[in-house]
C-alpha cells in the first residue's frame, strides 16, 4: 500500500513541475550542462523514514549548501566566541556573492555569504589544505550517511573562473580575518562546493540536523548537539540571502540553497527536506525548490512558529498506592492498610522529552500533592531525553523532598546518562541519600508498601514454626479435616534461586508455602522476566494449572531458602472421594483466593485505563 505521504508528495511534484521560470546557472561553465527539467523532492524524518519523488538520485554539486555544514565544523573546532570574532551572524539584505565586510574590522556579516563562508573554511582546523578538504568531505558524509566525493570537473571549472572569490580571499587576508595563504583557503572553498550529492542526500543531511546532529539511521554524530541551534540560526536568518524576512514569514524553516539547484530545509525535531531543480530565480535560488518548500510548509503545517502547546503530555500516568499495588501478595490486614494509607505513595510515569516546559507541568502537578506525599516513584521508562534544564529542576525537587521527609525512587532511569551525570555532579558521594534506584516499578512499589506498613508495626517477621491454621487453604476447616489433608502433604525444602515450577511443565501439584518466599515470573517480550506475584508463608500457589490442567504458564522461583508442602493431583482427587467435606473447604478457600486476586486485577486494570 502506498503511503499517503508519498501520494501527496507526488501530487505536489506534478504541480510544481509545471513551473518553467528561472535559468540554469552559467557562471560556472560546468553547471550550465544541467538539464532544466531535472526535479526531485525528498523528505526524511529523524526516525529514518524517507519519501522521495522524481530525480532524487541524480548527482549534482552541493555549492553553497556546504556553508552551514562547514560552519558547524568551525564551531566545533574553535567554539562559538572565537568564530563570532571572525564572522558575524546578521543578515545583509545583499546578494549571495556580495562582499559585505563590516567597515573597520573587515568581518563578514554572516557565514552564508561567500565572504563569510570563505572565512569559515579558513577556521576548519587542519594540517594542510588537503587535510582540510578531506575533513570537510568526511564530515558532510557523516550527515549523509555515506561517503561523498568531489566532482573534479566542477571544481576545475570553478577554480579557473572564481576570480571574485579569490578577490574576497585577499580582502579577508588583508583584514587579518584569514590568517594564512588565502589562495589555499579559497581553493578548499571551491572543493567543498564541488562535493557531489543527490536530492536524497540533502534530505537526509537535513534530517540529521533535525535530529540534533545525529544521523537517523547510522546513529553517528555529525555535529555536537549544542551547535545545532547555531547552525540552524544562521540558516534561519541568513540562509536565503536577501529575503530572510519573507522566508521566515511564509515558509518558516531554516534553509539553504545552492546554485546547482539544490535547497535543503530543516524543521527541527520533525523533518528534513531536500529539493533539486536547476533553474534559478534572480536571487540564485531554485525556482521550483522555493515553491516546493512553500507548498510543503503550507500543506504539511511545517512552519517553525506554528507550535501547539506542550499540554500535560509529560505525565503518561499517575497511580496512587491506594489503587495500585506491587505484585507481592498481601494479607487482608495489609491490603486494608494500604488502601487506607496508599495516597501517601504516588507513582509518576513520565514520557517524551523532558524540557523546561514539560518538566514544569510535572513539577506543578507534584507540588500540589506534597502535603500528603511520603513516597514518590518516578518511572523514566518512556522518557526519550532529558534537557539540562529538566535535570536542574529534578535536582531542586530532590533537595526539597528530602527536607520534607519524602523519599524518591527512580525506576528505568539507566538510559538517561545525562541525568545520572548531572545528579552525581551535584550530590557527589552522598547521592544515595537523595534518591534510590530500582530496576522496575513492581520492586519499587513493594519497597514503599513495606515502608508504609512498618509505620503501624505490622510484624514483618514471623515465628519459626508455622501452625496449620496459618495456611489460607485451611481457613474454616475443622481440626479433623486439616489432619486429613495434612496427611496427604509431602514436605519439600528449597534453596534460594531454585526453580520450583517451569513454564510449559504439566501441572499436577499444588504448593503450600511453609517457610520462605517465592515469586511467579513471566518472560517479557524483551526476554527480561517480570514478576507476576510474590507469595510468602501461609499462601498457596500452583492451583490454577492443577484445576484446568493447562501446562504451567509462568515460572516460580524461590526468593529465599524455605520449604513447602505439596498436594498432588492424585491425592487431591482421592481427597474428594474419601473426604468430600474436607475438599469442599479447600475448594472454597481456593475460590476465595481467586476472587480476591481477581478483584485486585480488575481494580488495577481500571486504574491503568
Nearer to a second copy (CB atom), residue 185 or residue 238? 238
Binding residues among 551-580 for a second copy as defined by CB under 8 A: 553, 576, 580
67 carries an active-site annotation = yes
Judged by CB under 8 A, which of 95, 361, 466, 503 binds a second copy? 361
Q: Using CB under 8 A, which of 174, 396, 454, 469 touches a second copy?
A: 396
Give SS3 for 339: helix
The residue from 35, 174, 313, 480 that contacts a second copy (CB under 8 A) is 313
CA distance 180 to 173: 7
Q: Out of 196, 343, 351, 408, point to the residue binding a second copy (CB under 8 A).
A: 351
Residues 161, 218, 310, 451: which binds a second copy (CB under 8 A)? 310
Residue 18 to residues 97, 159, 278: CA-CA distances in angstroms?
29, 35, 14
Q: Is 203 in the site for a second copy (CB under 8 A)?
A: no
How many C-beta atoms surround the C-beta of residue 371 within 10 A?
A: 7
Distance CA 88, CA 97 (A): 16
As a whole number of angstroms, the distance between CA 343 and CA 568 comes to 42
Q: Which region among 172-180, 470-478, 480-488, 545-553 touches a second copy (by CB under 8 A)? A: 545-553
Q: In DSSP terms, which residues pair with 23 in a beta bridge?
A: 280
Place of cell 553553497: 64
Distance, in Å, from the CA atom of 230 to the CA atom of 79, rounded to the nearest integer, reads 11
Stretch that binds a second copy, among 42-50, 116-124, 145-153, 485-493 (CB under 8 A): 42-50
How far apart CA 323 and CA 428 sit, in angstroms, is 36
> What is the closest distance, in whole angstroms, from the C-beta atom of residue 70 to a second copy in the complex?
17
In the list 15, 21, 578, 581, the residue contacting a second copy (rule: CB under 8 A) is: 581
Instruction: Kindly identify the residues of this chain, within the stretch 471-530, that bind a second copy according to CB under 8 A.
Output: 522, 524, 530
Contact 597, 605 (CB under 8 A): no
Instruction: Write the Ramachandran bin of 182: left for phi over 0, alpha for psi from -120 to 50, otherwise beta.
Output: alpha
Q: Residue 189 catalytic?
A: yes
Active-site pick, 51, 189, 227, 422: 189
Our answer to whether residue 381 is catalytic in this structure is no
Residue 61 binds a second copy, judged by CB under 8 A:
no
Q: Nearest-CA neighbor of 424 among 389, 380, 379, 394?
A: 394
Catalytic residue among 64, 133, 277, 286: 64
Task: State in angstroms the smallest separation of the CB of 137 from a second copy.
Answer: 26
Which of 54, 169, 254, 284 is in the footprint of a second copy by CB under 8 A?
254
Site string for a second copy, 75-114 (x = CB under 8 A): -------------xxxx-x----------------x----
Give least dist CB 236 to a second copy, A. Answer: 6
Whether 389 sits among the annotated catalytic residues: the reply is no
Stretch binding a second copy (CB under 8 A), from 136-144, 273-281, 306-314, 448-456:
306-314
Cβ nearer to a second copy, comparing 264 with 302: 302
Count of residues of this chain found to bind a second copy when the rule CB under 8 A is applied: 113
* 276 strand-pairing partners: 40, 262
Give CA–CA dist 472/510, Å, rounded.
Answer: 13
Q: Which stretch binds a second copy (CB under 8 A): 126-134, 241-249, 466-474, 483-491?
A: 241-249
User: Pick from 309, 457, 461, 526: which binds a second copy (CB under 8 A)?
Assistant: 309
Residues in region 130-189 near a second copy by CB under 8 A: none
CA–CA separation, 229 and 72 (whole Å): 10
DSSP conformational letter for 343: G
Site for a second copy in 402-461 (CB under 8 A): 404
Is 194 catalytic? The answer is no
Identify the residue whose cell numbers are 503545517. 301
β-partners of residue 158 are none
Closest to a second copy by CB, 161 or 385: 385
245 sits near a second copy (criterion: CB under 8 A): yes
The nearest distance, CB 145 to a second copy, in angstroms, is 16
Active-site hit among 51, 66, 67, 287: 67
294: cell is: 512553500
- Vertex 403: Cα angle to 397 and 404 (nearest 5): 90
- Measured on CA atoms in the order 30, 35, 36, 39, is the torsion positive or negative? negative
Q: For strands 509-515 and 540-541, give the pairing.
A: antiparallel
Residue 386's SS3 state is strand
Angle at 598 between CA 594 and CA 602, to 5 degrees: 175
CB of 601 vs a second copy, minimal distance in Å: 4
Q: Which is nearer to a second copy, 252 or 289 (CB)?
A: 252
Please tell me the distance from the alpha carbon of residue 366 to that of residue 352, in angstroms, as a whole number: 18
Q: Could you give the residue numbers annotated as active site?
A: 64, 67, 189, 241, 259
Amino acid at each position: 500500500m502506498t503511503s499517503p505521504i508519498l501520494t501527496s508528495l507526488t501530487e505536489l511534484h506534478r504541480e510544481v513541475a509545471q513551473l518553467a521560470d528561472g535559468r540554469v546557472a552559467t557562471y560556472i561553465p560546468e553547471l550550465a550542462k544541467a538539464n532544466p527539467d531535472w526535479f526531485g523532492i525528498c523528505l526524511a524524518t529523524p526516525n529514518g523514514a524517507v519519501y522521495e519523488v522524481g530525480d532524487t538520485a541524480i548527482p549534482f554539486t552541493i555549492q553553497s549548501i556546504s556553508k552551514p555544514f562547514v560552519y558547524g565544523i568551525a564551531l566545533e573546532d574553535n567554539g562559538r566566541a572565537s568564530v563570532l570574532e571572525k564572522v558575524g551572524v546578521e543578515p545583509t539584505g545583499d546578494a549571495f556573492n556580495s562582499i559585505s565586510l563590516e567597515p573597520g574590522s573587515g568581518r563578514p556579516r554572516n557565514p552564508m555569504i561567500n565572504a563569510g563562508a570563505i572565512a569559515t573554511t579558513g577556521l576548519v582546523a587542519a594540517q594542510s589544505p588537503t587535510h582540510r578538504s578531506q575533513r570537510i568531505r568526511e564530515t558532510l558524509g557523516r550527515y549523509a550517511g555515506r561517503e561523498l566525493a568531489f566532482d573534479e570537473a566542477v571544481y576545475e571549472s570553478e577554480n579557473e573562473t572564481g576570480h571574485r572569490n579569490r578577490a574576497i580571499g585577499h580582502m579577508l587576508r588583508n583584514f587579518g580575518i584569514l590568517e594564512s595563504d588565502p589562495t589555499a583557503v579559497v581553493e578548499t572553498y571551491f572543493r567543498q562546493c564541488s562535493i557531489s550529492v543527490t536530492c536524497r542526500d540533502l534530505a537526509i543531511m537535513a534530517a540529521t540536523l533535525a535530529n540534533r546532529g545525529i544521523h537517523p539511521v547510522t546513529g553517528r554524530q555529525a555535529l555536537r548537539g549544542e551547535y545545532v541551534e547555531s547552525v540552524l540560526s544562521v540558516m534561519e536568518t541568513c540562509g536565503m540571502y536577501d529575503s530572510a524576512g519573507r522566508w521566515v514569514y511564509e515558509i518558516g524553516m531554516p534553509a539553504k540553497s545552492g546554485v546547482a539547484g539544490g535547497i535543503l530545509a530543516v524543521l527541527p525535531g520533525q523533518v528534513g527536506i531536500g529539493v533539486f531543480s536547476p533553474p534559478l530565480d534572480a536571487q540564485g535560488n531554485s525556482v521550483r525548490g522555493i515553491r516546493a518548500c512553500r507548498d510543503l510548509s503550507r500543506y504539511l503545517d511545517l512552519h517553525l512558529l506554528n507550535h501547539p502547546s506542550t499540554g500535560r503530555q509529560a505525565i503518561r500516568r499517575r497511580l496512587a498506592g491506594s489503587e495500585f499495588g506491587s505484585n507481592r501478595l498481601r494479607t487482608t490486614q495489609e491490603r486494608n492498610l494500604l488502601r487506607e494509607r496508599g495516597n501517601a505513595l504516588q507513582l509518576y510515569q513520565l514520557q517524551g522529552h523532558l524540557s523546561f516546559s514539560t518538566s514544569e507541568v510535572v513539577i506543578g502537578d507534584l507540588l500540589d500533592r506534597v502535603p500528603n506525599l511520603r513516597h514518590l516513584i518516578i518511572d523514566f521508562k518512556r522518557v526519550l531525553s532529558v534537557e539540562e534544564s529538566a535535570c536542574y529542576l529534578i535536582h531542586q525537587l530532590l533537595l526539597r523532598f528530602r527536607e520534607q521527609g519524602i523519599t524518591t525512587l527512580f525506576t528505568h532511569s539507566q538510559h538517561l546518562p545525562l541525568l545520572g551525570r548531572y545528579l552525581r555532579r551535584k550530590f557527589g558521594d552522598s547521592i544515595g541519600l537523595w534518591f534510590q534506584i530500582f530496576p522496575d516499578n513492581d520492586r519499587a512499589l513493594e519497597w514503599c508498601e513495606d515502608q508504609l506498613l512498618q509505620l503501624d508495626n505490622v510484624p514483618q517477621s514471623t515465628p519459626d514454626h508455622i501452625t496449620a491454621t496459618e495456611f489460607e487453604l485451611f481457613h474454616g476447616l475443622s481440626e479433623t479435616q486439616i489432619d486429613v489433608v495434612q496427611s496427604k502433604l509431602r514436605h519439600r525444602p528449597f534453596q534460594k534461586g531454585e526453580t520450583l515450577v517451569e513454564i510449559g511443565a504439566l501441572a499436577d501439584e499444588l504448593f503450600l508455602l511453609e517457610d520462605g518466599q517465592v515469586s511467579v515470573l513471566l518472560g517479557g517480550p524483551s526476554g527480561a522476566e517480570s514478576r507476576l506475584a510474590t507469595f510468602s508463608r501461609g499462601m498457596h500457589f500452583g492451583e490454577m494449572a492443577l484445576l484446568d490442567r493447562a501446562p504451567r504458564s509462568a515460572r516460580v522461583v524461590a526468593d529465599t531458602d524455605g520449604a513447602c508442602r505439596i498436594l498432588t493431583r492424585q491425592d487431591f482427587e482421592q481427597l474428594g472421594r474419601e473426604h468430600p467435606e474436607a475438599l469442599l473447604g479447600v475448594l472454597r478457600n481456593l475460590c476465595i483466593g481467586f476472587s480476591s486476586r481477581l478483584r485486585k486485577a480488575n481494580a488495577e486494570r481500571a486504574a491503568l485505563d
